[in-house]
Amino acid sequence: MGNFPLLSILDNDFYKFTMQHAVVRLFPRAKAKYKFINRGEHPFPDGFDQLLKKAVDQMAGLSLLKTEKEYLEKTCPYLAPTYLDFLQGYRYDPSEVEISQTGSNLSVEISGLWYRTIMWEVPIMSLICELYYQATAQERINDKQVISVAQEKINKYKALDIKLAEFGTRRRHSYQVHDLTTKTLVEFGKDVFTGTSNLHLAMKYQTKPIGTHAHEWFMFHGAKFGFKMANLLGLENWSNVYRGDLGIALSDTYTSKVFFSQFDKKFSKLFDGVRHDSGDPLQFADMTIRHYEENGIDPKTKTIIFSDGLNYEKVERIANYCRGKIKISFGIGTSLTNDVGLKPMNIVIKMTDALPEEGDWTPVIKLSDEKNKHTGDPETIELAKQLLDIND
């Protein structure tokens, strides 16, 4: 028990590095807090907190290898050399993570400078999943079957004539399953498979690292600049750092309706497209196409990346609806990296509070496109809904 092969500091989602780069540049003194949320109410066995602590403590030994730095220099020219030098010196600090357990309930809280703590979410979630399946002695299908499942899926997606990336690091069954799946997708996914969100596996299998930013980017901007300015200044700051690179904008931190009201012609032209992560995907497609048309932009020159709980049936429905109207791509997570005959875990780690350089700790929130699925402090949610004129 407790074999968790976190082999590389790059075994993390790509958008954590792109956001960390931007935070180091723009908000080096900001602080953040994150909290584990057990959405699936999974019961953790006795002593699980100690298993996780041991794994987290061992992460302090990870560092950026010379070959990994050279890979980033070549593959990601928009990451500043000063950042890559910083990353070479970066070490996980386990004192930023508080882990405890009461009965079968697990508590994980992360706190510290944002540019440091931003890196914890994804690896801790993948460790929780891997260690949970080990600690509860749940047996998965064998490696040969894992490869067969991945091959069957990529062949079905190939027949749909779509583009897809693998986004499944956070809730993967294990590193081994993730590794085998990605290898199979690269091998059999020619013309369909566009890359992976996992930077380590992108390097290992010479495929494209995929990702831009996550909800926490805009959640922090809400805490620092206010909810009305969060999308606008989040996009402005992103484009100031990346100058047109990494051009997919996440739309649903404060509902997509509010996002599109601030996604003006400048941003609509500058960004390559948007990412859908909650709410009805077909309604979102209509809203996006209409937005581009109203701004005099041909939607067929722009892309929507769909990434909300996708499986084959959902992808097929979206692809058939959007075909010929706008470019589309799909980021598929858990259904690729945790389809091993066991129940996938339903867990998240969310930023809960931010402390910009000035001021006090401020609760951060997310106002999803899913009716009544907003997350964060209830009073702050109500305040934001009033300010942004959101009724649900």
Bridge partners of 362?
Answer: 354
Max intra-chain CA distance, the chain: 59
What's residue 242's pLDDT?
A: 98
| Residues ≥6 apart with Cβ < 8 Å to 3 | 134
* Predicted confidence (pLDDT) per residue in 247-279, tens digit: 999 999 999 999 999 999 999 999 999 999 999
Domains contained in the chain, CATH given: 14-139+344-356 (3.20.140.10), 143-337 (3.20.140.10)
User: What mean pLDDT is reported for the chain?
Assistant: 96
Q: How far is CA 218 from the centre of its chain?
A: 13
The dihedrals phi and psi of 58, each to the nearest 5 degrees, come to -70, -20
* Predicted confidence (pLDDT) per residue in 350-370, tens digit: 999 999 988 889 999 999 999
What's residue 371's pLDDT?
A: 76
Q: How far is CA 392 from CA 11, 116, 323, 382, in A?
A: 38, 36, 31, 11
Bridge partners of 110?
Answer: 34, 97
Q: How far is CA 81 from CA 28, 92, 131, in A?
A: 17, 20, 36
* Predicted confidence (pLDDT) per residue in 308-337, tens digit: 999 999 999 999 999 999 999 999 999 999
Residue 44 has pLDDT above 60, yes or no: yes
Is the pTM above the cut of 0.85? yes
Q: Among 176, 166, 181, which Cα is nearest to 126's?
A: 176
Q: How confident is the model at residue 3 (pLDDT cuts 50, 70, 90)?
A: low
Query: Cα(114)–Cα(121) distance, rounded to whole angstroms?
Result: 12
Exposed/middle/buried for 357, CB within 10 Å: 0-12, 13-18, 19+? exposed
The dihedrals phi and psi of 25, each to the nearest 5 degrees, come to -70, -45
